[in-house]
Chains A and B, each alone.
Chain A
Amino acid sequence: MVKFHKFGEVTVATENMSKTNRADGFYAEALLKSSCIQAASRIVSSRVGPGIGANAAAEEVALLAYRLYDRYVQDARTRGQGN
């Protein structure tokens, strides 16, 4: 069975697919993760100031980035249903 996942504009099939498509999927996924990390950093850094621990800020960015990524993928899958 072929499953389709949407990462932004790119739709990725995760089974019975060629090596090239799989590479495209990993690339698209990485781009999305990278964008989420940058977005999370912008959100966190807008709320913090000097004196905040770097590790605490990094932790917050990672958590928020992952939440953004997770939410985005879920949303894309929901929108992708029936297509």
Chain B
Amino acid sequence: MTDMSRTHAHVVKETSGARAMRNPSDIKVKGGAMEGDDHAAISSRIPYLVIRSGCMIAASELVSKIDSETQSRDEIAQATVNIANRIYERFVELSQERRKNRRHKVDVSAKILVEDKVFDCNLWNISHGGAMVSPLLSLHVGVSVGLKLGRNKPIPARIAAIGAKQTNLTFLSNEIEPEWLQGIIVKLLEANRTAGD
């Protein structure tokens, strides 16, 4: 076990009453020696390795087509690794961006405010980019609205699409503090989960 893992185990032992009963050697820290459940540790890395190997295969194909200047095997290997890393990093970035904008399925009552009018609807899903509510056939695409959830102040939005089965809203992101919206989404999900229990 590494010094790092010993330190971590020590901290856990001192700060957590429940965990203090655990043997410090049970605590695993990234980078530390694997012991005990080595198999689980390796298994947890398989998805990462599968994607990495896909990047290597992809990079190898690209290098053979785009780079005519790499002559030696070392140069080809280095170019392949560089491109594989680049593909992997960008792919992960794209995954993270998408995760940030993931839609959360809910089923709660909401109100749509349009000037001095209020429409009752059901909110079906919500993300940082927009929301889907039950059909509001009396509205038009492009109309600015406010989505009111509970006691929160209305979220500025625009009607993006109206279908027979749903109305899609796009949030006006330049008028919204991301942290404020995140707070609303978290509270909403918690309330929705509690109601479903």
Interface residues of A in 16-37 (CB under 8 A from B): 23, 26-27, 29-31, 33-37
Give B65's nearest chain A residue, CB to CB. A45
Interface residues of B, dominant DSSP: helix
Residue of B nearest to A52 (CB): B66
Q: Main SS of the interface on chain A? A: helix
Known: A54-B83, A55-B86. A34 touches B54 (CB 8 A): yes
Q: Are B51 and A40 in contact (CB under 8 A)?
A: no
- Whether the pair B62, A34 counts as a contact (CB closer than 8 A) is no
B residues 41-77 touching A (CB-CB < 8 Å) = 43-44, 46-48, 50-51, 53-55, 57-59, 61-69
Closest residue of chain B to A28, judged by CB? B47
CA of A37 to CA of B87, assembled, Å: 8
Given contacts A38-B57, A51-B66, A54-B79, contact A66 B94 (CB under 8 A): yes
Of the residues B50, B58, B68, B79, contact of A51 by C-beta under 8 Å: B68
- Shortest distance from the beta carbon of A70 to any chain B beta carbon, whole Å: 7
Q: How many Å from the CB of A9 to the closest CB on chain B?
A: 16
Contact present for B61 and A41 (CB under 8 Å): yes
Contacts of B44 in A (CB 8 A): 23
* Distance (whole angstroms) from the CB of B105 to the closest CB of chain A: 8
Q: Which residues of A contact B51 (CB under 8 A)?
A: 30, 33-34, 37
* A2 is an interface residue with CB less than 8 A from chain B: no
Complex contact B95–A66 (CB within 8 A): yes
Contact string, B109-124, partner A, CB cutoff 8 A, digits 1/0?
0000000000000000
* Beta-carbon contact of B50 and A30 below 8 Å: yes
Q: Which of B46, B62, B91, B98 contacts A65 (CB 8 A)?
A: B91
Q: How many interface residues does B have (CB within 8 Å)?
A: 34
Q: Cβ of A1 and Cβ of B94 under 8 Å apart? A: no
Indicate the size class of the contact surface on chain A.
35 or more
Of residues 18 to 36 in B, which have CB atoms within 8 Å of A's CB atoms? Answer: none
- Evaluate whether A27 and B47 lie within 8 angstroms (CB atoms) in the complex, with A42-B61, A70-B98 already known: yes
Q: Chain B residues near A51: list those with CB within 8 A.
A: 66, 68
Q: Are A57 and B91 in contact (CB under 8 A)?
A: no
Contact of B86 among A33, A42, A58 (CB under 8 A): A58
- In the complex formed, the residue of A with least CB distance to B49 is A30
Residues from chain B with a CB closer than 8 A to the CB of A30 are 46-48, 50-51
**Residues on B with beta carbons closer than 8 Å to the beta carbon of A1:** 196
Instruction: Determine how close the nearest CB of chain A comes to the CB of B196; give it in whole angstroms.
Output: 7
Contact flags (1/0) for A56-69 with B, using CB distance below 8 Å?
Answer: 01110111011000
**Sample of 18 A–B contacts (CB below 8 Å):** A26-B47, A30-B46, A30-B51, A31-B50, A33-B54, A37-B87, A38-B54, A45-B66, A48-B66, A50-B65, A54-B66, A55-B86, A58-B83, A58-B87, A59-B86, A62-B90, A65-B58, A66-B95
